[in-house]
Amino acid sequence: MARIQHIALSVPDPEKAAQFYETTFGLKRVGETHSPLADGVYLTDGVVNLAFLKYRTSEAAGTERGKDYVGVHHFGIQVEDLDESGKKIEERGGSFFMDLPTDKSTLDYEAKYRDPFGVIFDISHKGWTLGK
């Protein structure tokens, strides 16, 4: 069964947001990103990866809300088979819009989709860093 393993929040200051959740709830820092799309900090409770992202452009954010939107941006589901899951998504009205990165063999690979209502979600065959 696929499982929800990742939630991404768009925030104006990833470091400040991460420090709040680290100190308030004891979440563990498991990584950072400084990509062409966004800067961010990743925390975990050991089950879910929580990303705090500041997108560089509205195009990188992939949403009509733009790069300055603050709130839940997308979530991620770990699946066993990327191709089969992608096929099912599209058969049921979802649409693919981005590979990140483009090399599917990397640890951080995810395919980005929109559901029939435009909600953004990722699928990954390797999941997200949980620091285990």
Mean pLDDT per 10-residue interval, the chain, length 132 residues: 91 94 92 93 94 92 84 89 93 88 66 87 85 63
Q: Is residue 46 part of a domain?
A: yes
pLDDT at 103: 62
Q: Which residue in this structure is represented by tokens 């509205």?
A: 58
* H or E element that contains 53: strand 49-55
pLDDT at 63: 72
Pair of tokens at residue 91? 């058969």
Instruction: Say which CATH number the domain at 19 has.
Output: 3.10.180.10
Number of domains in the chain: 1
Tell which residue, 4, 3, 16, 5, has the closest CA to residue 70: 16
What sign results for the dihedral spanned by CA atoms 70, 32, 30, 4?
positive
Separation of alpha carbons 28 and 45, rounded Å:
6
